[in-house]
Structure 1
Amino acid sequence: MPYPFVLPTTSSFSFSSSFGCDSHPSIPLNASTHRGVVRETLKKHKRLPPSAQSPSLSSVVHSLNGYLPYLFAVDAGLSHREVRGDEINVVLKTEPAIEWRPTLSDSPIPGKEPPRVKIQSLEYEVFFALSALANAYTLQARTALHPLYLTSSAPVGTQQRQTAIAAATKALLEAASLYDYLITRAESLVISGNPPPPCADISPAVVGAQRSLALAEATLLAVLKDDPYPAIVAQDRNQNDTEWMYKAPDIPKVRAHLFARLCLAAGEHAAQAHSLCTGRVAGGKMNEAFVRYLEDLRRTSRAKACRFFGIDAELGGQTGTAIAWLHAGLRELGIERKETTKKTGGLGRLKKEWSEKREDRRVEKGTADWGGDAGRLEETRVIEMLEAKWNKQNDTIFTQIVPPTGPLLAQMPSGREIHSVKPFQPPMLSVATLEAMRAPPDRSDESGNYASSDEETLTDGTLVGAFPGTQGEYRTGTPNYF
């Protein structure tokens, strides 16, 4: 399940205060205007309740995509690069002072948001803007997949399921493309001797981890598209499902083995992402919930691979080996086998049932942390269902010996990739827009009164109730006498 990212917020900023452009004088003003839209959109999105944030994601993506061409135009002018064959002469007047609030960095005060960080380079403005866009794409993937996990309504049809998974995969691959571009850009920053990143969110290690995470989740979606077992387990808990009898799904042997290798590839991506975020990275320490999610995703991916190896063995008539693969899957998930038997009772079983019901309630309410275990609970349910079924068959029909799991795990093959990341092409302004910005600006470039998009307090001394532009006509500190 895609990670529930929290989108960052930012302060207001006037490009004209730090940059000038002789060839296209209106570029700073237009860049400030579109950045102001981004700031307001992020502010409104953050203030919405978690269950109502999904519809506003399209506005966030639209505002960021509208801002990026102007941001890259200013960046190209500073680097003396042409935009659509047109030379833009941007000069740096003073170092920019911009604030962003990171969301993946660990907060020094437990339970509170991490403090805002100040950036004095346009490079890291590009990093924050693209990272915010990639995170928004990931959240759109979550929104597309949410109906597949609801148990309070009728199960979705096959066509709707395929459409949702295709849309989520596309969004995740777009996010991976953005991270891939940032990795290349970060390498050039290191070579040119730029200052280190101000926080962990935009450090090269974390950007690389997010790229691996997006690829891992997109790879698992390729498996979910043709994996019928999670849907069957969800239907068993769905009270609105009118079906009362299910036929065990048939998965061709070659596809089961292919799915297993895809899951192993996802596990390798998740393991790489976890290794990049473990410990202290450049810019500070990572959020523990994010690091824990990466480890859960690695475990879930490998457990899925074990399940498909078990399905492959069961289709070949090796029920004992198939059960052993399920035991290996539970081992990968970190679950003791004695906790999965029907005879298990007492506190352990009550705790397990309570955890499952709590996760179901999170999915139904659409809270921000639903699916925060990277699908670990869902995979546990699938393995338990198959284990109960195959144990019954083995005890009554086949009676095969269940081999140990150690040798099976040692002989697992390498993963197989299925997705390729398309290179991200920075958006450019049209020729007509560039020509229009050769004219001088028609108004001043004011950055506004708010220090950050997550604050509501005015930073200037404007009197409450005073008519705009007439502050100098009001006295303060002394009463008026007739």
Structure 2
Amino acid sequence: MPFSFALPTTSSANLSDFFTSSTHPSLPLLATTKRSVFKDALKKHKRISPRDQPAHLPAVQDAANAYIPYLLALNTASAYRDVGLEEVSVEIVKPLEVEWRTTISATIPGREAPRPKVTGLHHELAFTLSSLAYTYSLLARSQLRSLYASNVLSPEQRTAAISSAMKHLLDAHSIHSFLLSLPSVSAAKDGPPDVQASTITALAALAMAEATLVVVSKDDPYASAVADDRNENNRDWMYKAPTIPKVRAHLYARICLAAAEHAGQAHGLLARSATGKIDEDLIKYANDLRRTARGKAIRFLAINAELSGSTGEALAWLNGAKRELGLSSGSGEDGKRKGLRGLKQSWQERREDKRVEKGGEWGLDAGRLEESRIVEMLDAKWDRENSTVNVQLVPDFEPLLSQMPSGREYHTPQPWSPPVLDASSLMQMRAPPEPAQKAFEGEEDDSGSEGGYGGLSPEPVGAFPGTAADYGRSATSSSYY
């Protein structure tokens, strides 16, 4: 369900050309080496196939965590502050200039995202920490994918996957919040839209919305029942009926409403901050996440009404959830969808199931189709019961929606503790580097137009094969996605 972020890539940079230290001469050299390893990890992640990318995420995470202490040390010492308990002197020879490929900025369809040159250590910090936050979101995606794939999970495995995904999303939120706490990053106006303060604020709100919505997934029996029902490998229906325990529906509804508020804040910031400059898929995802959270909240309020015996009111709540999720209101007594709109939705759901199995770009609707299945299942079940057993009138849902409760926060955000250099590492950097010692500059190619997975170089549309270099960096490519 978390958004499928694309990790940015960056150019090579010898930090010794931009920084010098009289107290710790080896600091710029070692920082260059760590940065080169991080750069290689990002470029390798981009070149491998989408199916293998989730397994490579821990390598990107380790490379980022190894580079961040040196980057923070340079940033702190260049501002004439002590690194930990040790005084470190760093002088800026010239402003740092590197290229970072933007990944959430709007681009021309079919063309690879640009790699603009950014100036300043604060932009290097923003892109590096944002890459780590994206990595945590992608790790959460890999955990949650197991809930919707064809493999059958035990309750313990399901709980472990949800708990791990929740932790990763909270880490992503903490990193975005840490970025906003840096004055040089929050006050910068010259950077790309990816590292603008409004965009980082929106991404922090989006991660919190996703982490809040994951809370109810652990104890939501209806979501697991629908997932098991469409799972071809599940054989539990042969010998036992699905058990639906009672849930704290009203509490879950308020938690979902809190998630909807965070998603609405993210959507508003992304849509207003840089019109035409943020990827439309990300803006649409934030809006779909808000609708999914509100639809889930209304569904829990319907469950709360049904548990109290008000089946007619519960059906009215479900009608409100249908409108929030964009479902067709017309359905027959058998619960089957009618018309072209229902056919289109069924086709979209089948295509989404194939994406989940292949591990590709699934979940771009923020779980809206999955929630629609749950609402339709409950609507068909309760409508049959209301038509045969206890007949109750179904009121209008507009007055009910106006009486929805306020949201309730579940998580208490914790500040992020970045990795720092210990005293022994700082002491070793007091020794000057050997005259012949050079920093590791990486093994990956530093071309501005990287090929996709498989090492294929992009060819411009209509160009003769093998002449891509003649077109410079304006060559179009869809390999980035």
TM-score, scaled to structure 1: 0.89
Residue 350 of structure 1 and its aligned partner are, at CA, apart by: 2.9
Taking the aligned partners of 1:197 and 1:2, their CA distance within structure 2 comes to 29
Question: How far apart are the structure 2 equivalents of 1:340 and 1:97?
Answer: 63
Query: Any conservation in 1 of the 2:337–2:343 contact (CA below 8 Å)?
Result: no
Q: CA 1:270–1:74 in 2, change beyond 3 Å: closer, same or farther? A: same
SS class of match (1:82): coil
1:354 aligns to what?
347
Partner Cα distance (1:350, 1:138) in 2: 33
**Hey, what's the Cα distance between the residues in 2 that align with 1:246 and 1:260?**
26
The one of 435, 438, 444 equivalent to 1:444 is 438
In 2, Cα distance between equivalents of 1:52 and 1:189: 35
Q: Does 2:315 align with 1:323? A: yes
Structure 2 Cα separation of the partners of residues 137 and 344 of structure 1:
38
Tell me, yes or no, if the aligned pair for 1:279 and 1:285 is still in contact at 8 Å.
no
Contact 2:225 2:242 in 1 (8 A): no
Residue 446 of structure 1 deviates from its aligned partner by 6.8
Q: 1:368-392: CA deviations, max 9, x gaps?
A: x111110000000000000000000
Quote the Cα distance in structure 2 between the aligned partners of 1:138 and 1:420: 18
- Residue correspondence of structure 1 range 120-269 to structure 2 within 5 A: 120-151=119-150, 153=151, 155-186=152-183, 189-190=186-187, 194=188, 196-244=189-237, 245-252=240-247, 255-269=248-262
2:408 to 413, 416, 428: 416
8 Å CA contact 1:340–1:384 kept in 2: the answer is no
Is contact 1:12–1:453 with CA below 8 Å preserved after alignment?
Answer: no
Deviations 1:74-116 (A, max 9, x none): 1111011111211111101111110000100001x22222211
In the other structure, the counterpart of 1:36 is: 36
Inter-partner Cα distance in structure 2 for 1:183 and 1:104: 18
Matched residues, number: 447
Identity of aligned residues (%): 46
**Is 2:105–2:193's contact at 8 Å kept on the other side of the alignment?**
yes
Q: Which residue of 2 is the match for residue 479 of structure 1?
A: none
Q: 1:188 to 1:17 in 2, by over 3 A?
A: closer
The answer to whether the 8 Å contact 1:2/1:139 transfers is yes
Residue 431 (structure 1) aligns with = 423
- The change in CA–CA distance for 1:35 and 1:188 in structure 2 (over 3 A counts) is closer
1:399 matched to 2:394: no
Q: TM-score, normalised by structure 2?
A: 0.89
What's the Cα RMSD here?
1.9
For the residue of structure 1 that corresponds to 2:142, the secondary structure is: helix
Matches of 1:8 and 1:339, distance apart in 2: 45
For each residue in 1:305-353, what CA deviation from the matched residue of structure 2 results, as whole angstroms up to 9, or x when unmatched?
A: 0000000000000000000111110111122211686354453343222
Gaps of 5+ in 2: 457-481
- Note the alpha carbon deviations across 1:15-72, whole angstroms, 9 max, x for none: 0111111100000000000000000000110011111100000000000000000001
Q: 1:217 to 1:446 in 2, by over 3 A?
A: closer
Which sits farther off after the overlay, 289-298 or 88-97? 88-97
Local SS of the residue matching 1:91: strand
**What is the one-letter code of the residue matched to 1:147?**
S
Deviation at 1:203, TM superposition (A): 0.7
When structure 1 is superposed on structure 2, of 392-401 and 339-348 the one drifting more is 339-348
Q: 1:80 to 1:451 in 2, by over 3 A?
A: farther
CA distance in 1, matches of 2:221, 2:301: 15
Moved more, 316-325 or 272-281: 272-281
Deviation at 1:186, TM superposition (A): 4.7
- Give the deviation of 1:199 after TM superposition: 0.8
3-state DSSP of counterpart to 1:398: coil
Distance across 2 between alignment mates of 1:344 and 1:234: 19
* Corresponding position: 1:384 with 2:376: yes
Partner of 1:293: 285
Please give the residue correspondences for 1:358-373 in structure 2 after superposition, counting only pairs within 5 Å. 358-367=351-360, 369-373=361-365
1:247 positional shift: 3.7
Amino acid at match of 1:45: H
Over 3 Å counting, the alpha-carbon distance change for 1:395 and 1:299 in structure 2 is same
Q: Which amino acid aligns with 1:150?
A: A
Cα distance in 1 for partners of 2:242, 2:230 equals 16
The AA in structure 1 aligned to 2:234 is D
Larger radius of gyration: 1
2:51 partner SS: helix
Q: Secondary structure at the match of 2:182?
A: helix
Tell me how far 1:407 sits from its aligned partner. 0.6
* 8 A Cα contact 1:9 1:454, kept in partner: no
Q: Distance in 2 between matches of 1:305 and 1:215?
A: 16
Q: Taking structure 1 as reference, are residues 68 and 346 closer, same or farther at Cα in structure 2, changes over 3 Å only?
A: same
Q: Which residue of 2 aligns with 1:94?
A: 94
Equivalence for 2:450: 454
Quick one: distance in 2 between partners of 1:187 and 1:94?
17
8 Å Cα contact 2:222-2:374 kept in structure 1: yes
Q: Which amino acid is the alignment partner of residue 258 of structure 1?
A: L
Residues 343/373 of structure 1: CA separation in 2 closer, same or farther (3 Å cut):
closer
Q: Is the 8 A contact 2:199 2:273 kept in 1?
A: no
In structure 1, how many angstroms separate the alpha carbons of the residues matched to 2:421 and 2:193? Answer: 31
Q: Is the 8 A contact 2:122 2:185 kept in 1?
A: no
Change (3 A) 1:61 1:440: same
Q: CA deviation at 1:198?
A: 2.0
CA distance in 1, matches of 2:102, 2:331: 39
Which whole-Å CA distance do the structure 1 matches of 2:141 and 2:326 have between them? 25
Report whether the alignment pairs 1:119 with 2:118: yes
Are the equivalent residues in 1 in contact too, given 2:179–2:186 (CA < 8 A)? no
